[in-house]
Amino acid sequence: MEVKEAIEKAKQNNQIAFNFLLDKFWNNVYGFQLKRTENENDAEDITIQTFSKAFDKINTYKDTYNFNTWLITISKNIHIDLVRKQKSRISSQSRTEDNEEYFSIVDETPSAEDQLIKEQNLAKLLRDIKKLKPHYQEVINLRFFQEMTYKDIAETLGEPINNVKVKLLRAKKLLAEIIKKD
């Protein structure tokens, strides 16, 4: 399959085309992020988010750009957004009184109300996950609740790692649609 053909098929929601594009460009995007983040987990998470966003927005892709360049641009923007979020989380102010510096750090400890809301949201999320097909439930459970790596999930399921990645992307997309409906 050619890249242009795969893109056209992906625009028609063809899962084989998504798989092809993921296989073809995964290493490029992952390698790019690995150089930027110098952290395998962050690079992998950003790469997954990149493909997820790219597959969601595949209809906006114009063939005047190289597909790899388009993916790298999405990846770069996701990384920039994550860095901005991290910087805004730890807001520190310094002021000088009697030649001493004081730093105030935002307390992100959840309150009792926050904890209750979190538990209620988790219960709702679990109900929504049960609406997915069993093989999607399984991959969500292994990744997010048992915190297994993609490699471990692939071994557990007896599937290639790229299939696990695509299946997880699809499961997250379907779950998001279920959550939006409710």
User: CA–CA separation, 46 vs 83, rounded Å?
Assistant: 11
- pLDDT of amino acid 167: 84
User: CA–CA separation, 54 vs 18, rounded Å?
Assistant: 10
Residue whose token pair is 């995964």: 26
User: CA–CA separation, 43 vs 35, rounded Å?
Assistant: 8
- pLDDT of amino acid 160: 84
Mean pLDDT of the 72-80 span: 94
* Residue in 134, 6, 15, 108 with CA at minimum distance from that of residue 61: 6
Which letter, b or e, does each residue of 18-31 get, where b requires 16 or more Cβ atoms within 10 Å of its Cβ?
bbbbbeebbebbbe
- Residue 93: band (very low, low, confident or very high) from pLDDT cuts 50, 70, 90: very low
**What is the rounded average pLDDT for all residues in the chain?**
85
User: CA–CA separation, 91 vs 97, rounded Å?
Assistant: 19
Is the entire prediction scored with pTM above 0.75?
Answer: no
Residue 30 has pLDDT above 90, yes or no: yes
Residue ranges of alpha helices (H) inside the chain are 3-11, 15-37, 40-56, 67-89, 112-129, 134-140, 150-157, 161-181
User: CA–CA separation, 157 vs 172, rounded Å?
Assistant: 18
Write out the two tokens for 3: 């890249």
- pLDDT of amino acid 103: 57
User: CA–CA separation, 83 vs 40, rounded Å?
Assistant: 16
Q: Partners of 102 in the beta sheet?
A: 95
Angle, to 10 degrees, between the axis of helix 150-157 and the axis of helix 161-181?
100
